[in-house]
Chains A and B, each alone.
Chain A
Amino acid sequence: MKVWFERHPRTRLVTLTFYYLSIVVALIVIYGRGDFSTPAFVYQNF
């Protein structure tokens, strides 16, 4: 496989790009949500 990729540099670049892109997308999916959480809040009226 390594030898084949060395013979086809363009395919290697495209495959690697997709590989890194999938990592970036996975990171965004895992950590990308905004966090609006606040500390525990019990409203007891004024």
Chain B
Amino acid sequence: MSPSTRRPHLSAGLLALLIAGIAVACGVVWCKRLEARYIHAFAPDFGDEKLQGIALQKEALSQPDLLMLYGSSELGKEMPNNATQFFADYPTGFRVFPVGRPGSASLSVLQKVGAAGESVRGRKVAFSISPGWFFSEFSEPTFYEGNFSALQTFELAFSDHLSRDLKRDIARRMLAYPKTLEDQWLLGIALERLAGDSAVDDALYAAIRPLAYVQQLVGCTQDHFEAALHILDEDEKLNPVPRRGLRKLNWNEVLKRAAQFANQNAVRAKQSEVARRKTAKTSRAKTFLHALAHAEEWTDLELLLRTFKELGAQPLLLTMPIEDIRLEVYGLAPSARTTLLDRLNHLADRFDFPLLDFRDHQDERTFTVDFQDHLSGEGWLYYNKALDDFFHGRITSL
């Protein structure tokens, strides 16, 4: 009597699992091929599969002609010359791949970079920093919560590419948003153990690792299938063959035309905002400077820069200028702006990462369209030149 006859249910069950396992593995290979074929068409996409998953971001990082641009609401805002549109036909040989949505600040970006892990090593990536993140002492919880991804955080929490110290500091910050962990008991335990930093915590963290590995295996498999299903759903919209039009961009000429994108309606709206919100300078300035000095965002930004460093990424940091008119609306002296920029530059210098703060444009009113750090058509042109120079290794000419 053969074993399959003696224990027919066990044999059939194991055989069924084996067949299902092989089918899923083949499915993942098919999904990966589909992702590779369509990844360039995902540049203008801001769906969950791209922003909350891992598969598409890793695939984008493996492409030599895609430049990852992390940021916030400015990335998705409809605006002439925004980087996604400007580089749509690969004018100088690459396209910008924006990753970010309203409310995503350093901690949300860190989640994505940490999850990408080794895929970021040696890669040029750009990170757009909004000055407004530093204007409040405490970050708005819903902004982080709305950009939270359990899948990405799991990958980060069990990453072998980040040091224990860095993971501890990140975990401590992430635990400040308990709402994100309400339905994630395993992730919650992992972050608490990482944050604990004692020998017992280390032992418990190691104990749950196999379970986390299985959970992550399921999560990443789902991620691949979600990406593939999204591609199949959007097949007609996503053109797998990118339109390319290699040409020489004369940046001096391009920037000469920047003024024509100055939006006078936006300037008028800003001026009326100044008139409406003008308050006593002293009270506003004191509150602002206190918030600026103690903003949680500084901790998050430093954690992100440490993550870039440990993963061996080559980031370019960009930040919009704080225009004079913005100081007016907040009732601030230019020294407040200098305090912010000095600290940002000091932080970038510490990690030896280039930072562009566009301070030459502080006296203009048209680099941004509002006081929420949204670049104007003019501002995007300066950003685009910086991205082009960065991609082609001309960063010194900026």
Contact = CB atoms under 8 A, between A and B. Distances in A.
A43 B53 contact: no
Interface residues of B, number: 45
B340 to A, nearest CB: 14
Interface of B: 2, 4-5, 8-9, 11-13, 15-17, 19-20, 24, 48-49, 52-53, 73, 102-103, 130, 132-133, 135, 140, 142-143, 145-151, 179-180, 182, 219, 222-223, 225-226, 372-373
A4 interface: no
Contacts of A12: 8
Given A44-B142, A46-B373, 5 more contacts: A13-B15, A16-B13, A17-B12, A20-B13, A32-B222
Given A24-B20, A25-B20, A46-B135, A38 B145 contact: yes
Interface string A3-40: 00000010011001111110111001000111110111
B76 to A, nearest CB: 11
Contact of A34 (B8, B16, B219, B373): B219
A44 B142 CA distance: 10
Nearest to B149: A36
A40 B179 CA distance: 10
B364 to A, nearest CB: 20
A28 B52 CA distance: 21
B151 A34 contact: yes
Contacts of A34: 53, 151, 219, 222-223, 225-226
A3 B143 CA distance: 64
A46 B9 contact: no
Contacts of A32: 222, 225
B132 A20 contact: no
A43 B12 contact: no
A41 B5 contact: no
Nearest to B47: A36
B265 to A, nearest CB: 18
B53 A46 contact: no
Contacts of B226: 33-34, 36
A25 B2 CA distance: 28
In the A-B complex, the 9 residue pairs with the closest CB atoms: A41-B146, A16-B12, A34-B222, A20-B16, A46-B132, A36-B48, A36-B52, A21-B16, A34-B226
Nearest to B131: A46
Among the interface residues A9, A36, A42, which one has the most CB atoms of the partner chain B within 10 A? Answer: A36
B222 A19 contact: no
29 contacts: A13-B11, A16-B8, A16-B11, A17-B15, A18-B16, A20-B13, A20-B15, A21-B16, A24-B17, A24-B20, A32-B222, A33-B226, A34-B225, A36-B48, A36-B52, A36-B151, A36-B226, A38-B145, A38-B147, A38-B149, A39-B148, A39-B180, A40-B146, A41-B143, A41-B146, A44-B142, A45-B372, A46-B135, A46-B372
A38 B15 contact: no
B146 A43 contact: yes
A40 B24 CA distance: 32
